[in-house]
Amino acid sequence: MSPDRSQSAYAASAAALALRALEALRGTEGTALVTRHVEEADDAKAALAAIRVVGADLFAPCLLADVSFHPEDAAAVAQSFVVFPPPVNALAPPPTGAAEPWIIAWRDWATATLLAHRTGTKTDGIRAPRPAASPADLGLADSAAPAPVPGGPGADWQRWSVRMGQLSPLALPGLEGPVHAAARAAPLALARGATRAVLRRDFPTAMRITRWLALLSSEGVRLPLDPVPLVEHLRLHGGGPRLALDAAIAQRVLGLEVP
């Protein structure tokens, strides 16, 4: 299989798995959805890669819709870490280190943490990237910015909010860490980032950032905008199973029904 065809297969498998998770949130998908996704796939390796891509959001039905996480699903998630092992060495946050592997490391941490908390299944070598104690330490801010956003991560809130959107699978109840502290410290920057993405018609990014706003709202954090109409607006724009799953998770976090 050519690299382009392989990437296409991986993307299609991730979209199909996201759709299964969405249907579970809606109550129309049964248990062992992850295992069935692997067993029914034409390309088992692509199906296991999809587990890593969807990641912690596979636990959304369990966390938000009282759907049990099947033991066979736990085994499939653990197997995805065996087939696609994470880096052994700790990754430095950007700008010292590369952004993409650092983001993947945080997403892997979220998946492994929920796997352990909800099923007792542990994976080897998965730990939170370090250092990570503040927005600046997270590599999400420009420490040299001359005009910091009030309550936010510096003048470079555009890049910061996009990167937080890339970390949106961490915006789930049941997870807690420095990324969540960074979100609580900068609701204005998140709101600006979501609004900017909407104006640019980058609806997937807007929805990912809005997931953080939904989580903060559920925690009682005072926000500069109401995330409920924003979620509904973004949901109506479509964008495939991934955006639909993000919207459904945000709705559930906000205590809304998922249509």
Cis status of the peptide bond prior to 204, with omega within 30 of 0: no
Nearest CA among 227, 230, 232, 205 for reference residue 216: 227
Cis status of the peptide bond prior to 148, with omega within 30 of 0: no
- pLDDT range class, residue 239, cuts 50, 70, 90: confident
pLDDT of 215 strictly over 70:
yes
Q: pLDDT tens across 8-51, in order?
A: 889 999 999 999 999 999 987 767 899 999 999 999 999 999 99
Across residues 58-69, what is the average pLDDT?
90
* Domain layout of the chain by residue ranges: 1-90+99-124, 131-259
- State the chain's mean pLDDT as an integer: 85
